[in-house]
């Protein structure tokens, strides 16, 4: 009886504090030995100006489109610089040939994580100033917010990945032979 009362009290407390009302969402299963790269941005969901280009699905974010546009360039650069809150985290990762990399978009905007032979521009001309479009960007796959992709079977050597929307978002995955 005492146990029942304690359980009931906990249940009432849970409902009162609201945590039971929060829907539980399971994390997708990711093997422990997967290495990870997180695609990040910090778009401000309260800025309606994101809407025409896909919106911003972050719960919180502090970069509105005006700030984003200011940081696109620098008076000291002929090429696009880009807001540094739009980045691949980490931008450099070392794995061995038997390892996989899980890449997940934790930003509020759509990105791509596209392997290219050489870093270049993406497919959105206003975000491409001073860059030549990487040919791989013609067929790049979008990763909407929350989406992930698993990279497996990468050969030994350096693999270059970039976003084909925000071409300053780059990453190198160095693949080494198994120890």
- Where on the chain is the footprint of Cu ion (CB under 5 A)? 111, 163, 165-166, 169
Nearer to Cu ion, 95 or 143 (CB): 143
Least distance (Å) between residue 75 CB and Cu ion: 24
How far apart, in whole angstroms, are the C-alpha atoms of residue 169 and residue 171?
7
User: Closer to Cu ion at the Cβ: 95 or 165?
Assistant: 165
Which value, in Å, is the radius of gyration of the alpha carbons in the chain?
Answer: 21
Minimum CB separation from Cu ion for residue 103, in Å?
A: 12
Residue 163: CB minimum distance to Cu ion, A: 3
Distance CA 150, CA 167 (A): 21
Q: Which is nearer to Cu ion, 96 or 133 (CB)?
A: 133
- Could you tell me the smallest distance in angstroms from the CB atom of residue 61 to Cu ion? 14
- Considering beta carbons, is residue 111 or 159 the nearer one to Cu ion? 111
Q: What is the DSSP string of 71-102?
A: TT--TT-SS----TTSEEESSEEEEETT--EE
> 27: which residues sit within 8 A by CB, 6+ positions away?
none
């Amino acid at each position: 009886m005492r146990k029942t009362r304690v359980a009931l009290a906990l249940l009432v407390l849970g409902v009162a504090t609201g945590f039971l009302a929060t829907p539980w969402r399971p994390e997708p299963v990711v093997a422990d030995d997967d290495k990870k790269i997180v695609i990040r941005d910090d778009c401000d969901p309260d800025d309606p100006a994101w809407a025409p280009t896909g919106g911003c699905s972050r719960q919180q974010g502090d970069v509105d489109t005006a700030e984003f546009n200011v940081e696109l360039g620098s008076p000291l650069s002929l090429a696009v610089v880009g807001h540094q809150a739009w980045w691949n985290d980490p931008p450099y990762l070392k794995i061995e040939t038997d390892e996989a990399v899980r890449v997940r978009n934790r930003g509020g905007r759509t990105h791509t994580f596209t392997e290219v032979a050489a870093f270049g521009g993406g497919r959105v001309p206003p975000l491409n100033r001073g860059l030549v479009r990487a040919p791989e960007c013609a067929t790049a796959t979008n990763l909407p917010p929350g989406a992930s992709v698993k990279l497996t079977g990468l050969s030994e050597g350096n693999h270059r990945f970039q976003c084909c929307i925000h071409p300053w978002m780059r990453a190198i995955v160095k693949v080494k032979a198994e120890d």
